[in-house]
Amino acid sequence: MMDGKKIKYYQEKIDRLGNWYQPIEFIKGKLMSKSKYDFNSTIQGINKWNFIIRKNLPKNLEELKILDLGCASGLFSMACAREGAKVIGLELDKEGYLQSLLTREIYSEIDKVNYNNNFEIIRCDFMNFDWEKYGKFDVVLALNVLYWVETPYEKISPEDRRNYNNENLLNLIKKIKENSKIVIVQADENKYQRRLKSSGSLDATDSQRVVKLLEKCEFKDIKIDKPIALKSLWRTLVFKSPEVDFEKPIFYARPIIKAQS
């Protein structure tokens, strides 16, 4: 366990990186990142890992090769590495990249394990990832990232989109299929509803559209997991925040889609 001096040292390093994408409570009540999300949410932080992501991964991660597209502050990549997986996390955003480096450093100190050995962090656009250099993966994580893929699709009219092949996105999914055994995608039904009214890409927001993309790229055994999130339901009812899609029925609005190559 860290002493008070080291906790203060790391808390200052955490604070210098501002608001973190993911809330991380490194040491309960003593060392944590600042985030606009609360720590008890089933949507963010380690609860999202425990409640939503982990159950969709293989039971034993020991020695599995995992690629995390857009790892943000590195929490989920780190969780895989702590279970013995060999992880590569990709993050283009400078703040997210620096946060993930610090996440790895802090957990190496907490666990007394050098996670540099099994958690590599690369600052790059995952669209430009060198698949041939790193070989094939057991699992690719694509959590709330595929709908950020920039394509001409975003520039055309809603009417023309219906018959448009989103080639950049399809090419990425084909690469994932060629180089992995399992892909775990997290969609966002809320973004789908919002982007119906805007010019943003729709293909990777709605879970059914993600399934169609995966089927088009010949993935097999495609399953959708829509866990109930009670805190999300409470916030939807009280604050009218669209975290739960009442039409599907009362399910978590960011489903997990799992498929086999």
**Amino acid sitting at position 56:** N
Q: Is residue 116 part of a domain?
A: yes
Q: Is residue 5 part of a domain?
A: no
> Which regions of the chain does DSSP assign to beta strands (E)?
25-27, 31-32, 65-69, 86-90, 119-122, 137-143, 180-186, 220-225, 244-245, 251-252, 256-260
CB 252 within 8 Å of CB 228: yes
Q: Is residue 15 part of a domain?
A: no
What's the domain range around 172?
A: 42-123+133-149+164-260
Q: Is residue 87 part of a domain?
A: yes
Residue 69, domain CATH: 3.40.50.150
pLDDT tens for 3-29 read 899 999 999 999 999 999 889 999 998
Q: Is residue 105 part of a domain?
A: yes
Q: Is residue 112 part of a domain?
A: yes
Count: domains in the chain = 1
Q: Is residue 128 part of a domain?
A: no
CB 208 within 8 Å of CB 185: no
Q: Is residue 65 part of a domain?
A: yes
pLDDT tens for 155-195 read 667 667 666 667 888 899 999 999 999 999 998 776 666 66
